[in-house]
C-alpha cells in the first residue's frame, strides 16, 4: 500500500440531477470498519446540514483535511470522492485501480480504491475507512448545486447509528443504537425497512389512472432529488400514465440518463397519500444496472422523503416517518426547459447549460452558454440557484422576462411557462 496526494488546480465542471451507483466489481469484500463517537460517554451527536436541490450535504473531514462536503445517500453502498475544489488538498492511502458501474448509457469508469483512511463527522470518527476516487469528470455536482460538493457517503454512516433527519431545521442527529429510545409523536408511523445487503427498501402502493393499485418495492434514496422513479417492466400491472414526455433526466455515473416523465394518480406509503406525484421512467439503456436489482420496482427520492422528519434505524430494520410542514407542498416541475449551472460554485453567477427541444426557453432564442443577468427584473447576483429554479417552477402561463449576455452583448427575451406535464 502506498500514499498519494491530491491537490486541485482548478474547479471541475460537472452535471447531475440524481445519482444511483452500484459498485459490485469494486465493493470491498472485507467488512467495513465502524464509525464511533469520539467521546465514549456520548450517546448522540447533532449537527446542521445544507439542503440544496433536494439533497442533504454534510461536512466530512478525511485524514485531517479541511472540511469537505458530501451528499448523504442512503442508496449508496460505498463512499465516493467526485471532485476537489480550488485549493483543496487531500492525502489518501490507495490500493488499486478498479471499475465502477452506475446509471447512464456509457461504459463503466475508472476509479481508485483507497482504504485505511480516517473519516470525521462532527463528534464521530472512523478509522480504516474505504473511499473510491473517480478519475473521470462525470458529475459536476458543485456547478449544478452552486456550492462546493466533493463526494457522496452512504451505508457506512447508517449502519453504525440510528439516523434522525429533521428537514424543517436542516439538522441531522446520530444516535447510539444501544441507548436510543423512540419518542412517540403525533401522526408518526413506523414501518419496516427491508435491508438487502446494504440497501434499504420499503413497500408502498402505486395508484394508477385506471384505479388499479400496485404494491411496489422502492429503494429509499436520499441521494436522489426526484420524487419517484419506476421500472414499469418490473411488474405487469405497472403502467405509465397516458400522458408522458420524453426527457433528458440527468447524468449518472456512466453517462446520460434518458427516459420519460409524467404524473401518476397517486402514491400511498402506509396511511400517507400523495396526489399526482411526478414520476420519472428511465429507459432500459440508461438504468440497466438498477432494473431488477433486489426485486425493486423503483426508488423513492427526497422530493417525497423531505415531507417527513425521519428516524432511520437499520439496527431494528425500521423507519419512522413524521409529516412536517412540507407534507402538502405541490409537486413542481421546471416549466422553461432551461437547465442552469454555476461555473464558479459559491458565486451567484449562472449560465445556461442545456435547453430542452421544443421548450419555451428554446423558442425564446436562448442558447447554452448564455450568461443570465436577471429573471423577472431580479438580478441573479442576489439569488441562489434554487431561487432561480423556483421562478422556473411557477404556474403555467406566467410570463418570464430574462436578460442574458452572449458574446459580450446583452439579449432580452420573453416567454411563458408551459404546462409541461
270 vs 146: CA distance, rounded Å: 36
> Quick check: 70 and 153 in contact, CB under 8 A?
yes
C-alpha span between 296 and 181 (Å, rounded): 31
Residues 343, 338: Cα–Cα separation, whole Å: 16
Q: Rounded distance, CA 70 to CA 81, Å?
A: 8
Strands (E), 348-390: 350-355, 371-375, 378-379
The whole-angstrom distance between residue 358's C-alpha and the CA centroid of its chain comes to: 27
The pTM for the full model equals 0.88
Residue 8 is predicted with a pLDDT of 36
Given a cut of 50, the residues of the chain with pLDDT beneath it are: 1-31, 104, 289
Contacts of 224 (CB under 8 A, 6+ apart): 18, 19, 20, 54, 75, 299, 301, 302
Q: What structural domains does the chain harbor?
A: 2-175 (2.40.70.10), 189-323 (2.40.70.10), 338-416 (2.30.42.10)
Look-up of cell digits 427584473? 377
Which whole-number Å values give the CA distances from 307 to 5, 43, 139, 213, 297, in the listed order? 41, 27, 26, 22, 21
Residue 30's pLDDT is what?
41
**Contact partners, residue 7, CB within 8 Å, separation at least 6:** 84, 88, 89, 90
Strands (E), 271-348: 272-275, 278-282, 298-300, 308-313, 318-323, 338-341
Cell readout for 329 is 407542498
pLDDT of residue 84: 78
- For residue 368, the tally of other CB atoms under 10 A from its CB is 12
Q: Do residues 153 and 72 lie in contact, with contact meaning Cβ atoms separated by under 8 Å? A: yes
pLDDT at 15 (0 to 100): 32
Report the distance separating Cα 327 and Cα 189, nearest Å: 14
Cα dist. 200→35, 195, 337, 382 in Å? Answer: 19, 5, 33, 39
Which DSSP category does 180 fall into? -
What is the structure's pLDDT at 152? 93
Amino acid at each position: 500500500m502506498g500514499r498519494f496526494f491530491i491537490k486541485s488546480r482548478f474547479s471541475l465542471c460537472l452535471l447531475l440531477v440524481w445519482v444511483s451507483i452500484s459498485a459490485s466489481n469494486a465493493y470491498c469484500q472485507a467488512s467495513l470498519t465502524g464509525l464511533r463517537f469520539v467521546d465514549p460517554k456520548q450517546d448522540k451527536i447533532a449537527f446542521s446540514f445544507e439542503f440544496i436541490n433536494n439533497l442533504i450535504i454534510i461536512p466530512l473531514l478525511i485524514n485531517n483535511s479541511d472540511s469537505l462536503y458530501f451528499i448523504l445517500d442512503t442508496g449508496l453502498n460505498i463512499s465516493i470522492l467526485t471532485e476537489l475544489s480550488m485549493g483543496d488538498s487531500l492525502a489518501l492511502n490507495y490500493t488499486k485501480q478498479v471499475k465502477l458501474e452506475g446509471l447512464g448509457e456509457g461504459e463503466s469508469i475508472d476509479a481508485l480504491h483507497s482504504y485505511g483512511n480516517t473519516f470525521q463527522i462532527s463528534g464521530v470518527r472512523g478509522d480504516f475507512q474505504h473511499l473510491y476516487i473517480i478519475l473521470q469528470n462525470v458529475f459536476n455536482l458543485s456547478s449544478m448545486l452552486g456550492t462546493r460538493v466533493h463526494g457522496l457517503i452512504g451505508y457506512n454512516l447508517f449502519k453504525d447509528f440510528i439516523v434522525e433527519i429533521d428537514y424543517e431545521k436542516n439538522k441531522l442527529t446520530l444516535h447510539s443504537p444501544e441507548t436510543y429510545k423512540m419518542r412517540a409523536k403525533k401522526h408518526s408511523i413506523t414501518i419496516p425497512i427491508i435491508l438487502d445487503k446494504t440497501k434499504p427498501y420499503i413497500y408502498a402502493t402505486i395508484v394508477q389512472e385506471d384505479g388499479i393499485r400496485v404494491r411496489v418495492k422502492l429503494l429509499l434514496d436520499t441521494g436522489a432529488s426526484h420524487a419517484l422513479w419506476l421500472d414499469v417492466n418490473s411488474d405487469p400491472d405497472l403502467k405509465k400514465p397516458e400522458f408522458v414526455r420524453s426527457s433528458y433526466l440527468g447524468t449518472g455515473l456512466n453517462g446520460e440518463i434518458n427516459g420519460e416523465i409524467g404524473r401518476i394518480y397517486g402514491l400511498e406509503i402506509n396511511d400517507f397519500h400523495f396526489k399526482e406525484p411526478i414520476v420519472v421512467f428511465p429507459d432500459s439503456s440508461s438504468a440497466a444496472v438498477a432494473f431488477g436489482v433486489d426485486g425493486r420496482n423503483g426508488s423513492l427520492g427526497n422530493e417525497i422523503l423531505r415531507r417527513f422528519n425521519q428516524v432511520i434505524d437499520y439496527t431494528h430494520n425500521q423507519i419512522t416517518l413524521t409529516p412536517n410542514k412540507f407534507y402538502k407542498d405541490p409537486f413542481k416541475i421546471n416549466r422553461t426547459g432551461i437547465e442552469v449551472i454555476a461555473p464558479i460554485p459559491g458565486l451567484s453567477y449562472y449560465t445556461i447549460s442545456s435547453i430542452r427541444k421544443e421548450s419555451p426557453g428554446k423558442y425564446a432564442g436562448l442558447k447554452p452558454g448564455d450568461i443570465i443577468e436577471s429573471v423577472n427584473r431580479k438580478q441573479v447576483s442576489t439569488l441562489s440557484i434554487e431561487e432561480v429554479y423556483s421562478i422556473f417552477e411557477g404556474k403555467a402561463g406566467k410570463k418570464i422576462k430574462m436578460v442574458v449576455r452572449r458574446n459580450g452583448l446583452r439579449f432580452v427575451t420573453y416567454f411563458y411557462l408551459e404546462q409541461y406535464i
